[in-house]
């Protein structure tokens, strides 16, 4: 039903793929969920993770076991007490797309694991994801209930909402047109209900194929699910426990009409299926499982009057499953925080999100508003069913949502040919505009209350001549590194889908809502033309084009508005893009890692939210690194870094970018990055600025390391002494058994290294490349008490950081098979005069064994020693190899490149050993952007490199050929 795209659960009464799969872009989200560090303890289940296995491991996945040794070692390490499929009875979709061409979702590989160890949940999630077997790993979010009943003596006058939405009334009554069908079922996914309530008892849908007799007669895996199901406690009693919220919601949607008793709901003849998602205390422990149950058991409309600000991939998968796979319209409350915010599941795609109004159509003071809202409905003083066969008035978007669900059920009854999305779009297109009502006017609420307050009469009687177009599958491409930085031109394409009446000449126009001073729209219009009902169209030949201006701040969100018009039809949709991002993925050789703009290495923040870690492509278990950062300090009270702080769960953030990391157009290596940051944001700055550069090569024998160089400048007025410059890394050589790691050092090579004691375990090292100060190495036991060294298990204080920077500890990992370890390699002490600087460089290296690691260290030193001094400041304006598409490839492949100065150019295809395989193109080119093509059909599978030579400058990109 959406609308706005940006990658980020309370009752609503008064809430990426592994980098190993193909060629990683220069910027990619690593995980896509809200970390528990940003939530209250009661907003998630402790010691519980939800994860989705990658489909290539299906053959080793059973209901309660996954036959992958590394994963099972991890489960043992965290003390897993239960690993189980959440949906063991589901079947894998037989087709990839539904009949409308929408991609279906597979939920058969979603698991939940509970564990007993004291490992921080965010860290456990990061470590499990880093194994490389899961599409996502997330917390199990717990939505909240905030219902507070109003006056229990509410009068019948409070049924105003039935007249406001034009269900009842002397004129323009939707019920005069249709009272719905008993074949349309509204799934009330909530805390349960009162099965004997006189205004509900005749409204429940019953499963005649499974009467209450102790037998699973219909063989659906649920015994006696005659009247709904308790998903949380896995029994057939959907009676409420702990919180009666669901009793009210059932009546809001479909309390019995014309029975001369109590209240009425808009759903009239439509039926209710109660699906209880709360445990005995009333906590919502099974919200998304409830949606799945309702979708699987024939509900045409599913109501969710709950949610929160925590959202992730799991929730979106379940919404997609219900809508696309099962053709159920999911209606959700937009939230009661009184804020402009996204609230989940309401903010997911394919949801009809409902905000609340009061009598008179002004926004209810408690209701959220946002670009993700689709429609509004009354939500203040709504008289409905309550416990002990009573009635009570409640307020909240929890009430607005089921009122909308009841109306949606009538629409599905009246238009039996409509699918779920068409039903929701019909309600959107026939809603009454309320933006002129006092309280809804002005820019604060513009387009953030959806299309208006629902009108059941119009939904049933308006001529079906209005289109309803949604723009989805949005893709951003800069024909370069996908980093979207200053001066890049971003090309935006997507899919237009028309759900209702045919368009004649649909035109889409792009504009900027926020951040307009930081981008320039070069081409903001495309003509789609005629689109039939359920027709689709792309505009790849005519993309929107937006240029990012040099003034764009770091990680600036640009909010776009897409206006689609066709005659009198006009609809707005919103989506966002983060520009001038402050990290770049380095994927030119066998080590995939990330350089950031603020001193972090591997990831752009805590909880592995962006970046590739330190990923070695010869092994199947994902990244070898949990956390890493540049460090600089001059005393036990003055150390700057970006790693864990003195308090557990705290992260120090002492650096900020002054020049975002960027690709170097004329590189020294095959892939250079360059940027600057300072410690001005530190609570106790040294002070300093740091100019950082990385170098990586893709040819043998240099594929197993990346060089990080730092030039530290004293920006203070006095000289600094006792300065140490280093790199901290929390190594998890095998994330499934990181408690089997050890630390050692090689003094001759000036290298500290970590290794896994498992047979065939891998090695990772940090080697000091510069010789301007002595080599210092400190191995850390990341265990309770510190194992004889500094104890960072209870926090990593400034004094402890300076100790690890300035003193030596050769080994860590204990006397046995090892434990969790970290490592610090540094150089010092330096004395840096005011305005002066020092240059320190490190190689981060991986090896199949110790000899291989040592060989890589020697190679890294050789290459670093050959880097010219003039490469410290690099011109960014030369010719460059921009992009390869597709990559990986098995056939025709496009090579995009730019020429800065007229002259001879040459494109070559090289194999992994540096041997010339094919001359692709050569000749004289004028300045501009070009595309060449080559056919990989006849080449053997493996890693190759495209080499581009222009005016003596050489740039290289890796291409993977896989048939």
Cβ-in-10-Å burial (0-12, 13-18, 19+) of 225 comes to: buried
- Give the whole-angstrom CA distance, residue 304 versus residue 329: 11
- Give the whole-angstrom CA distance, residue 136 versus residue 129: 7
Q: Which two tokens stand for residue 227?
A: 């009247």
Contact 474/573 with Cβ under 8 angstroms? no
- Give the whole-angstrom CA distance, residue 732 versus residue 822: 9
Q: Which two tokens stand for residue 73?
A: 């070692």
- Give the whole-angstrom CA distance, residue 741 versus residue 821: 6
Q: DSSP for 423-476, please give it.
A: HHHHHHHTPBP-TTSTTS-STTTTTSSTT-B--HHHHHHS-S----EEEEEEEE
- Is 245 catalytic? The answer is yes
Closest CA to 19 of 614, 579, 567, 473: 614
3-state SS class at 249: helix
Written in H, E and C, the secondary structure of 364-421 is: CCCCCECCCCCEEEECCCEEEEECCCEEEEECCHHHHHHHHHHHHHHHHHHCCCCCHH
- Give the whole-angstrom CA distance, residue 168 versus residue 266: 8
Return the number of other C-beta atoms located less than 10 Å from residue 79's C-beta.
13
- Is 140 catalytic? The answer is no
- Give the whole-angstrom CA distance, residue 774 versus residue 567: 74
Return the number of other C-beta atoms located less than 10 Å from residue 387's C-beta.
13
Return the number of other C-beta atoms located less than 10 Å from residue 427's C-beta.
29
3-state SS class at 61: strand
Q: Please state the φ and ψ torsions of residue 958, each to the nearest 5 degrees.
A: -80, 140
Q: Which two tokens stand for residue 351?
A: 């949801």
- Give the whole-angstrom CA distance, residue 731 versus residue 753: 9
- Give the whole-angstrom CA distance, residue 826 versus residue 807: 9
**Direct distance between the N- and C-terminal alpha carbons of the chain, in angstroms, rounded to an integer:** 37
245-254 and 397-414 helices, crossing angle to 10° = 40
Closest CA to 283 of 345, 190, 180, 205: 190
Residue 887 C-beta-side C-alpha neighbours within 13 Å: 26
Q: Give residue for tokens 């891998």.
A: 762
Closest CA to 649 of 36, 75, 115: 36
3-state SS class at 316: helix
Angle at 135 between CA 130 and CA 140, to 5 degrees: 90
Backbone dihedral region for residue 801 (phi beyond 0: left; psi -120 to 50: alpha; all else: beta): alpha
Active-site entry in 26, 398, 797, 898: 398
Distances (CA, A) of 53 to 56, 65, 132, 781: 8, 12, 9, 32
Q: Could you check whether the bond before residue 888 is cis, i.e. omega within 30 degrees of 0?
A: yes
Contact 121/146 with Cβ under 8 angstroms? no
- Give the whole-angstrom CA distance, residue 59 versus residue 612: 27
Return the number of other C-beta atoms located less than 10 Å from residue 847's C-beta.
21
Active-site entry in 190, 254, 361, 781: 190
Give kind and range of the element (H or E) at residue 689: strand 688-695
- Is 217 catalytic? The answer is no
Active-site entry in 30, 33, 140, 245: 245
**Could you list the active site residues?**
190, 245, 398
């Amino acid at each position: 039903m959406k609308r706005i795209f940006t990658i980020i659960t309370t009752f609503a009464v008064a809430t990426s793929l592994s980098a190993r799969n193909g060629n990683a872009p220069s910027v990619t989200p690593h995980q896509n969920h809200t970390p528990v560090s940003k939530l209250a303890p009661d907003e998630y289940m402790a010691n519980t993770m939800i994860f989705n296995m990658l489909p290539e491991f299906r053959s080793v996945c059973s209901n309660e076991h996954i036959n992958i040794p590394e994963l099972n070692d991890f489960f043992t390490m965290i003390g897993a007490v239960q690993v189980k499929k959440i949906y063991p009875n589901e079947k894998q979709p037989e087709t990839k797309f539904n009949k409308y061409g929408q991609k279906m979702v597979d939920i058969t590989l979603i698991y939940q694991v509970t564990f007993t160890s004291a490992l921080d949940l965010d860290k456990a999630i990061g470590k499990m994801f880093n194994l490389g077997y899961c599409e996502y790993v997330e917390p199990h979010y717990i939505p909240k209930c905030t219902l507070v009943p109003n006056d229990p003596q509410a009068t019948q006058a409070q049924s105003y909402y039935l007249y406001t939405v034009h269900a009842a009334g002397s004129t323009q009554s939707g019920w005069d047109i249709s009272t719905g069908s008993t074949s349309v079922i509204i799934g009330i996914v909530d805390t349960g209900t009162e099965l004997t309530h006189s205004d509900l008892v005749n409204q429940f849908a019953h499963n005649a194929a499974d009467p209450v007799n102790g037998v699973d007669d219909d063989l659906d895996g649920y015994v006696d699910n005659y009247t709904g199901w308790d998903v949380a406690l896995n029994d057939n009693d959907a009676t409420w426990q702990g919180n009666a919220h669901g009793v009210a919601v059932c009546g809001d949607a479909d309390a019995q009409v014309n029975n001369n008793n109590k209240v009425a709901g808009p759903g009239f003849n439509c039926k209710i299926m109660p699906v209880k998602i709360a445990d005995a205390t009333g906590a919502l422990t099974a919200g998304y499982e409830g949606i799945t149950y309702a979708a699987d058991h024939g509900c045409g409309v599913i109501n969710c009057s709950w949610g929160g600000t925590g959202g992730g991939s799991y929730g979106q998968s379940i919404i997609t499953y219900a809508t696309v796979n099962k053709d159920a319209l999911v209606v959700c409350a937009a939230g009661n925080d009184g804020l402009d915010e996204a609230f989940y599941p309401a903010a997911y795609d394919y949801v009809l999100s409902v905000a609340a109004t009061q009598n008179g159509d002004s926004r209810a003071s408690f209701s959220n508003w946002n670009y993700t809202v689709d429609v509004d409905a009354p939500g203040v003083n709504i008289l409905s069913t309550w416990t002990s066969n009573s009635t009570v008035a409640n307020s909240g978007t929890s009430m607005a949502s089921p009122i909308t669900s009841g109306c949606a059920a009538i629409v599905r009854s009246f238009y039996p040919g409509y699918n779920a999305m068409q039903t929701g779009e019909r309600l959107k297109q026939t809603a009454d505009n309320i933006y002129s009502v006092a309280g809804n006017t002005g820019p604060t609420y513009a387009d953030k209350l959806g299309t208006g307050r629902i009108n059941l009469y119009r939904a049933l009687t308006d001529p079906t001549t209005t289109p309803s177009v949604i723009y989805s599958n949005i893709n951003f491409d800069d024909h370069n590194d996908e980093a979207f930085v200053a001066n890049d031109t971003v090309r935006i394409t997507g899919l237009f889908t028309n759900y209702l009446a045919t368009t004649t000449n649909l035109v889409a126009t792009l504009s900027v809502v926020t951040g307009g001073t930081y981008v320039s729209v070069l081409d903001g219009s495309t003509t789609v033309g005629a689109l039939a009902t359920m027709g689709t169209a792309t505009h790849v030949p005519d993309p929107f084009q937006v240029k990012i201006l040099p003034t764009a701040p770091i990680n600036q969100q640009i909010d776009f508005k897409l206006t689609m018009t066709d005659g009198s039809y006009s609809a707005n949709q919103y989506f966002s893009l983060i520009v001038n991002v402050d990290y770049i993925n380095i994927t030119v050789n066998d080590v995939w890692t990330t350089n950031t703009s603020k001193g972090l290495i591997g990831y752009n923040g805590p909880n592995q939210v962006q970046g590739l870690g330190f990923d070695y492509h010869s092994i199947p278990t994902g990244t070898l690194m949990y956390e890493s950062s540049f460090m600089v300090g001059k005393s036990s009270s003055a150390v700057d870094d970006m790693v864990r702080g003195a308090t557990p769960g705290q992260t120090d953030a002492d650096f900020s970018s002054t020049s975002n990391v960027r690709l170097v157009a004329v590189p020294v290596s095959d892939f250079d990055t360059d940027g600057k940051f300072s410690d001005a944001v530190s609570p106790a700055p040294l002070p300093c600025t740091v100019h950082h550069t990385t170098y990586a090569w893709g040819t043998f024998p240099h594929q197993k390391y990346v060089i990080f160089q730092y030039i530290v400048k004293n920006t203070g007025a006095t000289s600094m002494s006792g300065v140490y410059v280093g790199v901290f890394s929390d190594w998890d050589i095998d994330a499934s058994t990181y408690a089997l790691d050890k630390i050692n050092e090689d003094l001759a090579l000036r290298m500290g290294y970590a290794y896994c004691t498992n047979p065939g375990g891998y090695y990772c090292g940090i080697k000091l490349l510069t010789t301007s100060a002595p080599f210092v190495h400190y191995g850390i036991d990341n265990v309770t008490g510190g194992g004889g060294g500094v104890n960072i298990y209870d926090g990593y204080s400034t004094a402890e950081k300076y100790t690890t920077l300035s003193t030596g500890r050769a080994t860590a990992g204990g006397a046995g098979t090892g434990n969790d370890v970290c490592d610090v390699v540094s150089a010092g002490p330096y004395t840096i005069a005011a305005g002066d600087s020092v240059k320190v460089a490190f190689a981060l290296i991986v090896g199949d064994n110790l000899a291989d690691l040592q060989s890589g260290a020697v190679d890294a030193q050789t290459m670093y020693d050959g880097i010219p001094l003039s490469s410290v400041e690099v011109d960014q304006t030369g010719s460059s190899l921009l992009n390869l598409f597709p990559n990986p490839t098995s056939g025709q492949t496009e090579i995009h490149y730019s020429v800065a100065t007229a002259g001879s150019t040459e494109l070559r295809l090289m194999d992994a050993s540096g041997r010339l395989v094919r001359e692709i193109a050569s000749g004289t080119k004028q300045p501009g952007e070009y595309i060449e093509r080559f056919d990989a059909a006849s080449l053997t599978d493996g890693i190759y490199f495209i080499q581009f030579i222009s005016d003596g400058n050489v740039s290289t990109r890796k291409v993977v050929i896989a048939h």
